[in-house]
Amino acid sequence: MNKEIRAIGVSLGAALVFFGLDFWVLRLGWLLSLILAVLLYGGLLLLTKPRRRIGGIDVEEIPGGEELEEKLNQAREDFKRIGEAMEEIEDEELLADSRKLHQKAGNILKFLEENPEKITEARRFIDYYQETASSLLEKYVRLQESGLGSREAKRLKSQARQALLTLNRAFEGQFEKLMRNELMDLEADLRLLKQTMRVEGYEEESH
């Protein structure tokens, strides 16, 4: 949004300067000067307006692109929340588990950015699993900051760690689902390679 506002400001400023030159210096008349300034504004706005892209494709060219971009931004925000909460965790075991979770979330996010057609399949991950993970870590940090050392607080900390272990498995499972086609393609390529080598009379080297 800041880039878009900056593009509008730059284009408008250049158009006003151009209007002043045409009207006061070149004496073209206010109507012609205004028309030229508007044309300049429109042209500059098109050139300087940042292009919204997912996976190297303009959002406007992707079916349902606006909705996919919104969902991807939601995933980015939750990923950021996980990272910020992670940095505040003091318990070493919980910190290690949260780092694994953050790394897996980052891998999924990178995959979705490169494959926008998969974003719809990742709704469960974005809307539930990653949102749950970010909320859980934030609540844990608030509990940690409270300084409570009661039995109840310790029990909740233990449950938080178990939840993180479960979420780590869930993140991995969600990523495998998204990568299913890629894994199948790789498996097919390996089978074809073995068949080709057998037909050509080559033998695989044993290690």
Per-residue model confidence (pLDDT) at position 185: 61
Query: Would the pTM count as exceeding 0.75?
Result: no
Sorted by sequence, the CB contacts under 8 Å of residue 173 that are 6+ apart come out as: none
Per-residue model confidence (pLDDT) at position 52: 59
Could you write out the DSSP letters of every residue in 106-143? HHHHHHHHH-GGGTGGGHHIIIIIIHHHHHHHHHHHHH
CA atoms within 13 A on the CB side of 11: 20
94-121 residue pLDDT tens: 999 999 999 999 999 999 888 888 888 8
56-93 residue pLDDT tens: 555 555 555 567 788 888 999 999 999 999 999 988 88
| Ramachandran angles phi, psi of 58, nearest 5° | -60, 135
